[in-house]
Amino acid sequence: MSYRFDVLTLFPALFDGLRQESLIGKALETQIISLALHNWRAFATDRHSTVDDAPFGGGAGLVLKPDPLVKCLRAEVPADSRKILLSPSGRRFDQKLAQQWSQLSGITLICGRYEGFDQRIEAHVDEVVSIGDFVLNGGEVAAMAVMEAVARLLPGVIGNAESLTEESFADGLLEYPQFTRPRDFEGQTVPDVLLSGNHAAIAQWRLEQRMARTRAVRPDLLREPVTK
Ligand code: ADE
């Protein structure tokens, strides 16, 4: 059974590149995942297929109307799929959430647009999630980021499963620096320990590097409890 991604978007063509190229493209081809795109404009009932309207109380921009979106969810998305609304006002997405969601049979990602969505839509989703403290013009790029983070954790998507346990965040620390040939690049040389063949010393050096890098650029990660 494929892991099923459902995506609600008013701009399905934005997903064309993702479907053809990249890790997602390959996982679709091998049927490890499936992707169903739903344009909820099809569920608008007026002559102009309106999906947004002016906010009650006034204010800038248009707000996504609840009815066409919720109708689309009911009609086209499996009832047991975890429904995630992408919004800068949501809980922060992280590797732990990606891991949790990769254990499910699929997720539904709902991409907002314009200035926001009618608050009553939240009653029809399981979670509201943000990919970071910045504002995108819509949820599509955020949905793609979530899809990639989840898909690469599924068995068979990444050739070398070991790289999953070694990478940044797998145990709450950032990754150690990596080097490949040449040994000397314009005067920058590879640390001697990596050429020593001493595996214990290399492991020790890498752990120290991870701690130092995490302390320097992401001290907040050291304060979080380590869960695995
Ligand atoms: N939509 C707009 N900005 C977003 C963000 N930072 N995360 C998720 N969805 C968004």
- Which of 105, 122, 151 is the endpoint of a domain? 151
Strand partners, 85: 110, 128
Q: Structural domain tally of the chain?
A: 2
Residue 157 tokens, joined: 């998507």
Q: Is residue 14 part of a domain?
A: yes
- Provide the pLDDT for residue 225: 64
- Does the CB atom of residue 136 touch ligand 1 within 6 A? yes
- Provide the pLDDT for residue 113: 83
Show the CA angle centred on residue 125, arms to residues 122 and 128, nearest 5°.
70
Residue type, 225: P
- Does the CB atom of residue 116 touch ligand 1 within 6 A? no
**Is residue 143 within 8 Å of 150, Cβ to Cβ?**
no
Task: Please tell me the pTM assigned to this model.
Answer: 0.93
How far, in Å, is the centroid of ligand 1 from the Cα of 43?
Answer: 24
Backbone torsions φ then ψ of 226, nearest 5 degrees? -80, 120
Please indicate, yes or no, whether residues 108 and 201 belong to a single structural domain of this protein: no
Please indicate, yes or no, whether residues 108 and 9 belong to a single structural domain of this protein: yes
Please indicate, yes or no, whether residues 50 and 109 belong to a single structural domain of this protein: yes
- Which of 117, 151, 185 is the endpoint of a domain? 151
The range of the structural domain enclosing residue 216 comes to 165-223
pLDDT tens per residue across all 228 residues of the chain: 899 999 999 999 999 999 998 899 999 999 999 999 999 999 999 999 999 999 999 999 999 999 999 999 999 999 999 999 999 999 999 999 999 999 999 999 999 987 899 999 999 999 999 999 999 999 999 999 999 999 999 999 998 776 777 677 778 899 999 999 999 999 999 999 999 999 999 999 999 999 999 999 999 999 876 554
Residue 23 DSSP symbol? H
- Provide the pLDDT for residue 143: 98
CATH number at residue 195: 1.10.1270.20
**Is residue 30 within 8 Å of 158, Cβ to Cβ?**
no
- Provide the pLDDT for residue 164: 75
Please indicate, yes or no, whether residues 129 and 219 belong to a single structural domain of this protein: no
Ligand 1 atom closest to 137 (CA): 2
- Cα distance between residue 216 and residue 103, in whole Å: 33
- Does the CB atom of residue 108 touch ligand 1 within 6 A? no
Q: Is residue 228 part of a domain?
A: no
Please indicate, yes or no, whether residues 122 and 207 belong to a single structural domain of this protein: no
- Does the CB atom of residue 226 touch ligand 1 within 6 A? no
- Cα distance between residue 107 and residue 3, in whole Å: 8
CATH number at residue 10: 3.40.1280.10
How far, in Å, is the centroid of ligand 1 from the Cα of 184?
Answer: 42
- Provide the pLDDT for residue 167: 73
Strands (E) across the chain are located at 3-8, 33-38, 52-53, 63-64, 82-92, 106-111, 127-130, 184-185, 188-189
The number of helix segments (H) and strand segments (E) in the chain equals 8, 9
Counting ligand 1 atoms within 8 A of each CB, the residue from 11, 64, 86 with the most, and so the one to mutate, is 86
Q: Is residue 18 part of a domain?
A: yes
Please indicate, yes or no, whether residues 135 and 38 belong to a single structural domain of this protein: yes
Residue 115 tokens, joined: 């200035």
Please indicate, yes or no, whether residues 114 and 174 belong to a single structural domain of this protein: no
- Provide the pLDDT for residue 166: 67
Please indicate, yes or no, whether residues 200 and 130 belong to a single structural domain of this protein: no
Q: Is residue 157 part of a domain?
A: no
Q: Cα dihedral angle (157, 161, 167, 170), rounded to 10 degrees? A: 90
- Provide the pLDDT for residue 193: 98
Residue type, 93: F
